[in-house]
Structure 1
């Protein structure tokens, strides 16, 4: 056994763990621990699922807020036939063109 920098044993027979989940094999090459990589993949997958659930909840809340805004607006007080015709016209114009024309008026 050889003594390396810092007074710690070193050499090809030393199998001590190193920082970051890496270890030294008998030939002295560094390789990652398979288990720690798989655990990291699983943790990332769990975080991704949680984020997707948060995004889905946000979309649901945005839709609910849109419906609430519509109910409070003049559209919520208008007869159904007029609201239906308004949305049909909006669909033909497209949202960008409708916004442009409303700003111009």
Structure 2
């Protein structure tokens, strides 16, 4: 390639007149993508919070419908104290065995 052709590439108006402008556009699109991801992350966290609240409400409803919901408070309290001492895994294991 002749030297004159190469000089034309390097002069303003050659292949890339503003490489910094291209970088700025790329930076802008990257920042926009970061913001979009942050927004999606916040929406997902809100959905997870709502799901945990729904699960808690369903647990309370199940307990009210179960034998525990009909038992006197003192017995329910004693049951949960025993459950706390055993741990959930051990309590499930013993209940399955009985």
TM-score tier (shorter): 0.7 to 0.9
Q: Distance in 2 between matches of 1:81 and 1:23?
A: 80
CA gap of 1:20–1:78, structure 2 versus 1, over 3 A, is farther
State the 4+ residue runs in structure 1 displaced beyond 2 angstroms. 18-32
Say if 1:94 and 1:26 are closer, same or farther in 2 by CA, change over 3 A: closer
Pick 1 or 2: higher relative contact order, CA cutoff 8 A, min separation 6.
Answer: 1
Q: Which has the higher strand share?
A: 1
**Matched residues in 2 for 1:23 and 1:53: separation?**
45
Structure 1 or 2: larger helix share? 2
Structure 1 residues 19, 69: CA separation in 2 closer, same or farther (over 3 Å shift)? farther
Provide the secondary structure at the position in 2 that maps to 1:24: coil
> TM-score, normalised to structure 2's length?
0.76
Q: CA 1:69–1:20 in structure 2 vs 1: closer, same or farther (change >3 Å)?
A: farther
Root-mean-square deviation (CA, aligned residues, Å) is 5.3
Where do 5+ consecutive residues of structure 1 fail to align?
1-17
SS at match of 2:35: helix
Matched residue count: 88
